[in-house]
């Protein structure tokens, strides 16, 4: 009798997990229009020296709360150049997302703002090694939750060390220098 009850419970759990997994897959599937916008944006940036590593999307219950990318760039940047690149990429992504009428149905808020963007750029050397702080360079520039974060790699511990964090709103008020202007247009 106990064996029959155990088999029945296992069967019920297995069926329940199968149904939950199916529903989870359906809920987590990213709509084609979202994939299209992400792919188009990534292709545009790859033609401008940035190498796509990963697409990021926060999609849950039919709503997109975050969109972004992880890129590699094979050259060192100054703080001004990194700022210009972060601002340019973020504004370009926001423009593409907010101007797409089909995509608006899936956004958790419209218009999408800098708080909905996750953008991370790894600065690397051609030999795939990171550009180390001993050279005085930035290793990562990120846009997360409305802030631009500049990180370097500690040459002793290889941990990330924060160089500077600034709000996106403050960063766009800083004049773009002529050296960062070329990067900004990426």
Residue 35 placed within a domain: no
Q: Report the percent of the chain where pLDDT is more than 70.
A: 72
| pLDDT, position 183 | 47
Q: Is residue 42 part of a domain?
A: no
Compute φ and ψ for 160, nearest 5 degrees. Answer: -80, 135
Is residue 155 domain-resident?
yes
pLDDT above 80: residue 12: no
The mean pLDDT value for 25-30 works out to 48
Q: Which domain holds residue 110?
A: 47-172
In a domain, 162, yes or no: yes
Q: Does 19 reside within a domain?
A: no
Let me know how long the chain is: 186
Report pLDDT digits (tens) over 108-125.
998 999 999 999 998 887
Q: Inform me whether the pLDDT recorded for 106 exceeds 80.
A: yes
**pLDDT score for 10:** 44
Mean pLDDT value of segment 89-115:
92
* pLDDT at 43 (0 to 100): 87
Question: 8 in a domain, yes or no?
Answer: no
Residues 6+ apart with CB under 8 A from 120: 68, 69, 70, 71, 140, 141, 142, 143, 144
In a domain, 20, yes or no: no
Would residue 107 count as lying in a domain?
Answer: yes
Q: How many domains does the chain have?
A: 1
Write out pLDDT tens, residues 36-65: 888 888 888 887 888 888 887 777 777 888
């Amino acid at each position: 009798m106990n064996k029959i009850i155990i088999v029945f419970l296992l069967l019920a759990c297995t069926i329940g997990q199968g149904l939950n997994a199916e529903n989870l897959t359906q809920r987590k599937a990213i709509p084609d229009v979202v994939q299209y916008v992400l792919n188009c944006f990534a292709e545009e940036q790859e033609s401008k020296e940035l190498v796509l590593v990963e697409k990021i999307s926060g999609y849950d219950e039919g709503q997109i709360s975050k969109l972004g990318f992880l890129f590699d760039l094979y050259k060192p940047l100054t703080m001004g150049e990194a700022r210009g690149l972060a601002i340019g990429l973020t504004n370009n992504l926001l423009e593409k997302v907010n101007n797409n009428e089909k995509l608006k149905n899936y956004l958790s808020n419209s218009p999408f703002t800098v708080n909905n963007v996750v953008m991370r750029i790894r600065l690397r050397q051609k030999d795939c090694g990171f550009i180390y702080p001993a050279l005085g360079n930035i290793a990562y520039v990120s846009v997360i939750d409305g802030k631009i974060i500049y990180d370097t790699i500690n040459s002793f511990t290889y941990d990330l060390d924060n160089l500077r964090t600034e709000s996106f709103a403050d960063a766009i008020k800083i004049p773009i220098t002529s050296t960062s202007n070329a990067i900004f247009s990426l």
